[in-house]
């Protein structure tokens, strides 16, 4: 046991050393060069109260010496030098003429490695006027060895300097793009490294299993796995795979929260689908008319329902038709309904009240939609009904049990419908982001793909009796996890990811 442990330690050390060298190797391969010092405006371009200019790289200290001068007040005070991680009020001056003040602002100096990028870094908070910002940027450009940063280059440097892993970088990108509370909650946890730490813990556990396998090779007489020696390794492997499978089997909660819950509004023509979309979007996105068959194509709007990101699609009314264009609309509507996470089936309550059955209203083939999970039925045009005291009883009596009674015209049932949609989304996909005790779900298809590969290799590892194959499967499983966190072979992913970042991040 102690032997296995010492082998584990040596393997883990080798893995850690390799990880470091891989990071540095990538760093030099990128062509950016560690010698460059970069700068950029990190806040939004345009007029604002304050703008933040960031500098990172080995020449940062020299750039500050040339660019930052004490204010008159600071000159008389003791300790006027820039101190690490302290905000100092300073004059930002022209490097070629320190008497020419460009602006007065706050300067912060972060000597590496205790900075965002892991390098020497500085932040200048200046007044957010266009002329001020451009004069500071031009002054930085005149200092030798400094150049404007590429999109996402600060964060790229943080990644290469092991300040964060790839999942954390993706979390930062998601945080910047987050539009709803649920997206923000998910992204902030990922940006703090929570997901990456979990994958690294699993990778460490696989490395431990590899150490166990090495022990079995050392002490086994033949190159076959000896039952007694590897019983613990196999048991630990089973436990690990179970944990990983539970992570994979998450109903795509994280991916749905990140990209938005896709909702399709479907139902017969003229039931008020487009009216509902316009109400949800709070603007006239789709054409509404009393003519049945108005909507032909898919009309889409992105919104926030109770803090959850939602992409709603209005669709053509479902009915048999000889019109080729309308038939294509119906085909697209059914496809949208199939692929949606949540379906809202809108029916005309007045038609049900007039004696049509739900079957008449929906048509035979389309009733199948109602039986799909994650489907809410909305009986619209409730204003056309005689007084209904008990909406649930009314829906049961008219063959649409559980339907929400709504009038888009008078807004009767509107708040209840929104509450119901939010509750359904929270219950189906939303728990992990809201509850910090829950494990973070997979947030990208990229993670899912590598995670699935890892589980496949682990499954094959557990099935084989051949020690060489077993070790190979473990190595491949660890490498798959390494691809999620960016430890192995991710240059192509990085280029795609950082191109989505803004300059200055
Ligand atoms: N009385 C009443 N009329 C409504 C209500 N909601 C929508 N309407 C009317 O019903 C008609 C059809 O509305 P739309 O929103 O275009 O219906 P649709 O389901 O999108 O129709 P198609 O695009 O043809 O499939 C319009 O005249 C709307 O003003 C409601 O709650 N009450
Ligand atoms: Mg319509």
The protein residue with its alpha carbon nearest to ligand 1, atom 3, reads 381
Q: Locate the ligand 1 atom nearest the alpha carbon of residue 288 and give its number.
A: 16
Which pLDDT score is estimated for 387? 82
Q: pTM of the prediction? A: 0.74
Residue count (the chain): 505
Percentage above 70 pLDDT, the chain: 83
Q: Is the peptide bond before 113 cis (omega within 30 degrees of 0)?
A: yes
200 CA to centre of ligand 1 in angstroms? 54
Q: What is the mean pLDDT of residues 173-186?
A: 90
- Tell me the CA–centroid distance for residue 265 and ligand 2, in Å: 9
328: left (phi over 0), alpha (psi -120 to 50) or beta: alpha
Residue-wise burial string across 264-298, b where 16 or more C-beta atoms lie within 10 A, e elsewhere:
bbbbbbbbbbbbbbbbbbeeeebebeeeebbbbeb
271 lines ligand 1 (CB under 6 A): yes
Q: Answer yes or no: are the C-beta atoms of 401 and 445 closer than 8 Å.
A: no
Whether pLDDT at 228 is above 70:
no
Q: Please, what sign has the CA dihedral across residues 196, 202, 204, 210?
A: negative
Note the ipTM here.
0.99
CB atoms inside a 10 Å sphere around CB 181: 15
User: Is residue 290 within 6 Å of ligand 1 at its C-beta?
Assistant: yes
Mean pLDDT of the chain: 84
Q: Which residue has the higher pLDDT, 455 or 47?
A: 455
First to last CA, the chain: 48
**Residues 174-203, mean pLDDT to the nearest whole number:** 91
Pocket lining: 315 vs ligand 1, CB cutoff 6 Å: no
The answer to whether 410 and 384 have CB atoms below 8 angstroms apart is no
| pLDDT (tens digit per residue) in 317-359 | 998 888 999 999 999 999 999 999 999 999 999 998 888 877 7
Decide whether any atom of ligand 1 lies within 6 Å of the 417 Cβ: no
Give residue 388's pLDDT.
85
Segment 202-214, tens digit of pLDDT? 998 998 888 877 7
Residue 107 β-bridge partners: 88, 124
Query: Ligand 1 centre and the CA of 276: distance in Å?
Result: 8
Angle at 212 between CA 208 and CA 214, to 5 degrees: 115
Of the residues 273, 275, 329, which should be mutated to test ligand 1's pocket, given the most ligand atoms within 8 Å of the CB? 275
Write the Ramachandran bin of 249: left for phi over 0, alpha for psi from -120 to 50, otherwise beta: beta
Ligand 1 near 381 CB (within 6 A):
yes
Instruction: Give 6 Cα–ligand 2 centroid separation in angstroms.
Output: 69
> Pick from 40, 38, 28: which is nearest to 161 by CA?
28
Q: Which ligand is nearest to the CA of 299?
A: 2
Residue 443: count of CB within 10 angstroms of its CB = 28
pLDDT at 6 over 50: no
Residue 477, H or E segment: helix 467-485
Closest CA to 311 of 253, 257, 260, 254: 260
Between 502 and 444, the more confident residue is 444
Q: What are phi and psi of 300, to 5 degrees?
A: -125, 145
In 3D, which of 369, 300, 374, 301 has the Cα closest to residue 342?
A: 374
Residue 351 Cβ < 6 Å to ligand 1? no
Closest Cα to atom 27 of ligand 1: 290
The token duo for 78 is 């003791």
* Nearest Cα residue to atom 1 of ligand 1: 381
- Kindly give the number of the ligand 1 atom that is closest to the alpha carbon of 270: 21
The owner of tokens 């309904």 is: 337
Judged by average pLDDT, the poorest of 71-80, 160-169, 305-314 is: 71-80
Q: Whose CA is nearest to atom 16 of ligand 1?
A: 288
So what's the pLDDT on residue 35?
A: 74
What distance in Å separates the CA atoms of residue 250 and residue 318, rounded to the nearest whole number?
A: 32
Beta bridge partners, 68, equal 92
486-494: average pLDDT: 64
Number of helical (H) and strand (E) elements in the chain, helices listed first: 21, 13
């Amino acid at each position: 046991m102690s032997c296995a442990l010492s082998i584990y330690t040596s393997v883990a050390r080798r893995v850690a050393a390799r990880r470091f060298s891989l990071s540095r190797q990538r760093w030099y391969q990128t062509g950016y060069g560690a010698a460059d010092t970069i700068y950029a405006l990190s806040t939004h371009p345009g007029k604002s109260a304050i703008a933040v200019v960031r500098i990172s790289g080995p020449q940062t200290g020299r750039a500050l010496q040339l660019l930052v001068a004490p204010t008159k007040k600071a000159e008389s005070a003791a300790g006027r030098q820039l101190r690490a991680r302290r905000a100092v009020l300073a004059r930002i001056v022209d490097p070629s003429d320190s008497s020419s003040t460009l602006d007065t602002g706050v300067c912060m100096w972060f000597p590496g490695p205790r900075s965002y990028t892991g390098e020497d870094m500085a932040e200048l908070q200046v007044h957010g006027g266009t002329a001020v910002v451009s004069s500071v940027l031009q002054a930085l450009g005149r200092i030798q060895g400094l150049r404007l940063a590429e999109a996402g280059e600060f964060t790229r440097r943080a990644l290469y300097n092991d300040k964060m892993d790839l999942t954390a970088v993706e979390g930062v990108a998601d945080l910047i793009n987050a539009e709803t509370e649920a997206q923000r909650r998910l992204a902030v946890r990922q940006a703090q490294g929570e997901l990456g730490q979990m994958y690294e813990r699993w990778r460490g556990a696989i490395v431990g299993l590899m150490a166990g396998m090495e022990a079995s090779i050392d002490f086994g007489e033949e190159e076959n796995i000896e039952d007694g020696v590897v019983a613990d390794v196999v048991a630990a492997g089973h436990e690990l795979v179970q944990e990983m499978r539970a992570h994979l089997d998450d109903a795509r909660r994280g991916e749905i929260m990140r990209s938005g819950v896709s909702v399709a509004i479907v139902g017969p023509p003229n039931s008020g689908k487009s009216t509902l979309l316009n109400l949800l979007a709070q603007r006239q996105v789709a054409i509404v008319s009393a003519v049945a068959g108005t909507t032909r194509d898919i009309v889409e709007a992105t919104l926030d329902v109770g803090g959850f990101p939602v992409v709603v699609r209005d669709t053509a009314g479902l009915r048999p038709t000889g019109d080729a264009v309308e038939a294509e609309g119906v085909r697209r509507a059914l496809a949208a309904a199939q692929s949606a996470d949540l379906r809202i089936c809108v029916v005309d309550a007045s038609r049900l009240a007039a004696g049509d059955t739900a079957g008449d209203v929906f048509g035979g083939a389309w009733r199948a939609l109602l039986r799909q999970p994650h489907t809410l039925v909305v009986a619209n045009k409730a204003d056309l009904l005689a007084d209904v005291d008990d909406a649930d009883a009314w829906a049961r009596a008219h063959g649409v049990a559980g339907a929400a009674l709504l009038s888009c015209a008078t807004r009767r049932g509107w708040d209840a419908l929104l509450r119901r949609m939010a509750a359904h989304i929270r219950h189906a996909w939303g728990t992990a982001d809201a509850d910090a005790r829950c494990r973070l779900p997979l947030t990208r298809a990229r993670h899912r793909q590598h995670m699935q590969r890892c589980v496949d290799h682990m499954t094959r590892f557990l099935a084989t009796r051949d020690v060489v194959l077993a070790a190979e499967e473990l190595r491949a499983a660890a490498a798959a996890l390494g691809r999620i966190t960016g430890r192995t072979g991710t240059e192509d992913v990085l280029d795609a990811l950082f191109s989505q970042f803004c300059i200055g991040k």
